[in-house]
């Protein structure tokens, strides 16, 4: 093998981590290799996430990373949540998104907007046993996120909710939902209100589970509300403030999706580099051909650039610095890199890469969602354009 040959044993360089962060990342990576990887193929084929893994996630403290110790959480940082998402996604993007939605969307929303009473009621559950879901999208409100048809009417001491939600990640497993509805359609976005809904509330049903191209083990479900009664005490934030809650929470969630895309790109690259060492053509490993070396080098460079964007945005969030532009750029670029890298990995495998007997086709399928959920690429471009062109 030539000196210039890329090898899978030469990992992509890591950006600076503290000693505690390095230990945390290594522990998550070890768990992913030992417990998640053996189940990936079966979970993808059956489109079912192994419940025992979720129990392990809770036991390891990975479902309440930023939740304070007083509520049973790990009292960690947003950056640590991002590391967990990345390392899980390197093995299985479905596992990554379970942890991502829990930490960057649901827990974050509760930590920022819940009352003291709501925190006491719900945060211990989120840290110990209950999966969360974030329910914003509807059939008629995707990128136009606040054209909501789901209606909430105040009747006595309760709100009565009617409507349907679509594309809700963790819908099957979740016990608590942050759900958005309008209390006044005529008020536009000023009528949007966030509610904390428990799975057992009367009138609330989890409907059809989608049969998806990628992240198949992750459940994506319809939610049905038929005269679902929700106490006024379960309004998250103030009535009419749901728009602000959704926008600000999604800004954080987009960094998590960036981490998911970096993780799965890393996983695909590692498989491709290893295969290039093993595959022989014209009497030598294809990794010895400069064309393959250059492809792997370009892939590695783009992954590292994407990772730097994720880490920078996460550090900004933890530091309390404005990061809206950086979050949008991160999600946009990381999803592009993931799609390119996973596609190239399939090509390096050749015909084998196009079969389900080898792992890279799954990475490619999983990558596609990165440009779609938590704000499409066009929506990220719109946000970036507004901020950079306004000089902000």
Residues that are catalytic: 374
Phi, psi of 156 (to 5 degrees): 70, -125
Q: Are 94 and 146 in contact (CB under 8 A)?
A: no
Assigned token pair, 298: 């370009």
What's the CA gap between 176 and 171, in Å, rounded?
9
Q: Are 167 and 197 in contact (CB under 8 A)?
A: no
Neighbours of 310 (CB within 10 A): 30
Q: Are 151 and 178 in contact (CB under 8 A)?
A: no
Q: Where are the alpha helices (DSSP H) in 32-115?
A: 40-46, 51-59, 78-91, 93-100, 108-113
Assigned token pair, 89: 């996604």
What's the CA gap between 251 and 375, in Å, rounded?
9
What's the CA gap between 337 and 301, in Å, rounded?
10
For tokens 């879901």, the residue is 133
What's the CA gap between 346 and 350, in Å, rounded?
6
- In 3-state terms, what secondary structure has residue 1? coil
What's the CA gap between 114 and 244, in Å, rounded?
14
What's the CA gap between 50 and 92, in Å, rounded?
12
């Amino acid at each position: 093998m030539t000196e210039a040959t890329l090898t899978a044993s030469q990992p992509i360089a890591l950006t600076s981590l503290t000693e505690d962060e390095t230990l945390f990342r290594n522990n998550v990576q070890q768990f992913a290799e030992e417990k998640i990887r053996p189940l990936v193929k079966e979970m993808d084929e059956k489109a079912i996430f192994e419940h025992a893994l979720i129990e392990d996630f809770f036991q390891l403290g990975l479902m309440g990373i930023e939740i304070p110790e007083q509520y049973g959480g790990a009292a960690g940082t947003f950056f640590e949540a991002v590391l967990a998402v990345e390392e899980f996604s390197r093995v299985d993007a479905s596992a990554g998104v379970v942890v991502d939605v829990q930490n960057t969307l649901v827990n974050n929303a509760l930590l920022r907007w819940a009352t003291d009473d709501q925190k006491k009621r719900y945060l211990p559950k989120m840290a110990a046993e209950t999966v969360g879901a974030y329910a914003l999208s509807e059939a008629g409100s995707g990128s136009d996120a606040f054209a909501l048809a789901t209606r909430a009417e105040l009747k006595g001491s309760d709100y009565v909710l009617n409507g349907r939600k679509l594309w809700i990640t963790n819908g099957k497993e979740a016990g608590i939902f942050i759900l958005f509805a309008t209390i006044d359609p005529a008020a536009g976005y000023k009528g949007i209100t966030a509610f904390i809904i428990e799975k057992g509330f009367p009138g609330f049903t989890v409907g059809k589970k989608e049969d998806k191209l990628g992240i198949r083990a992750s459940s994506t479900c319809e939610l049905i509300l038929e005269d679902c009664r929700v106490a006024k005490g379960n309004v998250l934030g103030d009535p009419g403030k749901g728009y602000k809650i959704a926008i600000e929470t999604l800004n954080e969630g987009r960094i998590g999706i960036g981490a998911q895309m970096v993780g799965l790109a890393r996983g695909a690259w590692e498989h491709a580099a290893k295969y290039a060492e093993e595959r022989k053509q014209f009497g030598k490993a294809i990794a010895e051909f400069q064309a393959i070396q250059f492809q792997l080098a370009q892939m590695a460079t783009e992954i590292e650039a994407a990772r730097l964007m994720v880490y920078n945005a996460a550090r900004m969030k933890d530091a309390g610095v404005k990061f809206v532009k950086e979050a949008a750029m991160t999600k946009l670029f990381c999803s592009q890199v993931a799609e390119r890298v996973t596609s190239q990995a399939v090509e390096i495998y050749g015909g084998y890469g196009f079969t389900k007997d080898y792992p890279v086709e799954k990475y490619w399928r999983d990558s596609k969602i990165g440009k779609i959920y938590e704000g499409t690429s066009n929506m990220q471009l719109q946000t970036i354009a507004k901020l950079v062109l306004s000089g902000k």
